[in-house]
Structure 1
């Protein structure tokens, strides 16, 4: 079996375009704490990203990690609440609060039954699981925390946000590896389109400085081993790229039905106008070599938005800094979009935040549309001559564009794409 599409037995309906309004953004990344700081960071106007050697990873070929600094979670959340959340959930709650405030919403007066939460994460509370597994082996069952289950489950971030904001609508967790945040935003788009919700808080959160996970990634040769120069290790689309660098963070949007946003006079930053998802059915760890899986996702998103490839002026690519993935994705982008779209990967400033990546990078794409500014692909010193698209490097570039795309690929062949449009 080839897995290639064949004509269906009935004419497939074409959905009417639906533009979900993005009214709030919340960001916490290694490039900066808060939306403004993260945006300045990825555009090269803030501090350098915090890429540090971590004691948990000592002795591994890759012992460095994009770490959020300057954030006092205990002060933000309170000691009691903090103890009931793993770090990825803590980051999600703080980012959600920022997004809701940015949207001008007051949880004490909204109709909470019409508000939803959809948050993606690839690994949930894996570091806490590691810690508790060690405690069991070294000190016995009585030293294992009774809070293990609620802290490590992937739905911990979504649950914590619903509790913190008193949300009574749908609360969903998405786990499609590194496309989780993008799929979460696409799911929110669908919830709004069907009328199931008026407001959805959506995106991704991740914090997995796990010795076990990074050791496995080293064995796969998926991560960079440039221990002598961690800040330059992640270099998407560069001829000398040798793997990604894991990071932590959260990126959440407040998305609203356009009618709801208009009725309350909300300021709209941008619109999520199309969503597509597709599976490779090829490998658990490698993308389809010809990129047809992510191509299907992108073409579906374009059709959902009622647009063509020629309409897209900017792409925030998955761009992980791995040899094969960058070339496969870039070749696909050129095939679908042509030459006019300016491409960037912001992972060199945030790290590869796994399940949070799609949420963080979609939020950055919203800001790119709003500011008409494409962030640079940092560390792109020697562009790979086989990369067929124009990748913005070194400095942010002014650019006039009405529509942008966000593409994501995940282990297991999970592909997703979003189309975002200027407000």
Structure 2
């Protein structure tokens, strides 16, 4: 029952855009990340031992979701993508953190998924596993369950939590807290909003006209993406390799009194950078 975790290798590419840029480019809106909390554990008995930092990050990320969604959606529509290594220390401490924070912020039934049960632990890329899985949940409508166990261990805290041991429909899933629990180091929790919630917020912020324009651009973007994917699958493409493109040489740099020029960029060397009161001599 205490096998720990399997080491894994993983890599993901997720493009995070400013909202205006996403609308201008017609980018697909897979979700939104309005808040990320990072906090160290602070003083504790031993360096690798668990500390209180994750209580803070989980609480702040939950507060951010509640501020945006309001009480009703916040309490009914949450999913926690747990760090979930499956070790005796992680399962007891993280489940207690989730339960305690749920009580503090007024949540009665947080769903919990742990993708490491399927991927293994990819260490530095593990947070990316959680995020990319979450985006896939919203795209597919299914939450992967913790399929490697028949039942929870007796020391796992379950108050106000619903651990999903089987694949479950992602109904009323307005937001997620993506949690990275760092034993002996930093903890981080990201607030991630669903595509539907993200689009509703953008609609209220930018208005129907701009969203309609984004929709048209997005359709064109999607057609181009499908064309590119088809070319790649058929082998009808060549990689782009721009060697020495945009590289400045010493010959591209010119200096004159009061000015330094690097290619097309000129720097005024007489400009004062430091505050005027930081000066020994006048």
2-structure distance, mates of 1:261, 1:395: 32
Pick from 85, 100, 109 the counterpart of residue 320 of structure 1: 85
Task: Kindly indicate whether residue 49 of structure 2 is the aligned counterpart of residue 286 of structure 1.
Answer: yes
Instruction: Provide the residue aligned with 1:408 in structure 2.
Output: 180
Question: Which structure has the higher relative contact order (CA within 8 Å, separation 6+)?
Answer: 2
Task: Kindly indicate whether residue 136 of structure 2 is the aligned counterpart of residue 364 of structure 1.
Answer: no
TM-score (norm 1): 0.40
1:341 is displaced (CA, Å) by 1.7
Pick from 51, 54, 59 the counterpart of residue 299 of structure 1: 59
3-state SS of 1:255 partner: coil
Pick from 165, 169, 176 the counterpart of residue 397 of structure 1: 169
1:398 is displaced (CA, Å) by 3.7
Q: Residues 50-73 of structure 1: CA distance to partner in whole angstroms, max 9, x if unpaired? A: xxxxxxxxxxxxxxxxxxxxxxxx
1:325 is displaced (CA, Å) by 1.1
Q: Superposition pairs for residues 347-386 of structure 1, below 5 Å?
A: 347-386=116-155
When residues 397 and 386 of structure 1 are mapped into structure 2, their CA distance, relative to the original with a 3 A threshold, is farther
TM-score (norm 2): 0.59
Pick from 14, 21, 24 the counterpart of residue 263 of structure 1: 24
Q: How many residues align?
A: 181
Instruction: Provide the residue aligned with 1:274 in structure 2.
Output: 35
Task: Kindly indicate whether residue 100 of structure 2 is the aligned counterpart of residue 335 of structure 1.
Answer: yes
1-structure distance, mates of 2:167, 2:55: 28
2-structure distance, mates of 1:410, 1:254: 24
When residues 398 and 300 of structure 1 are mapped into structure 2, their CA distance, relative to the original with a 3 A threshold, is closer
2-structure distance, mates of 1:304, 1:398: 21
Structure 2 unaligned blocks of 5 or more: 196-282
What do you get for the CA RMSD once the two structures are aligned? 1.9
3-state SS of 1:249 partner: coil
Q: Residues 340-384 of structure 1: CA distance to partner in whole angstroms, max 9, x if unpaired? A: 221011112111111100011111112223333211112121212
Give the conservation status (yes or no) of the 8 Å contact 2:138–2:170. Answer: no
Instruction: Provide the residue aligned with 1:7 in structure 2.
Output: none
Larger Rg: 2
Instruction: Provide the residue aligned with 2:219 in structure 1.
Output: none
Give the conservation status (yes or no) of the 8 Å contact 1:276–1:299. Answer: no
2-structure distance, mates of 1:296, 1:404: 16
Instruction: Provide the residue aligned with 2:278 in structure 1.
Output: none
1-structure distance, mates of 2:115, 2:10: 13
1:310 is displaced (CA, Å) by 2.6
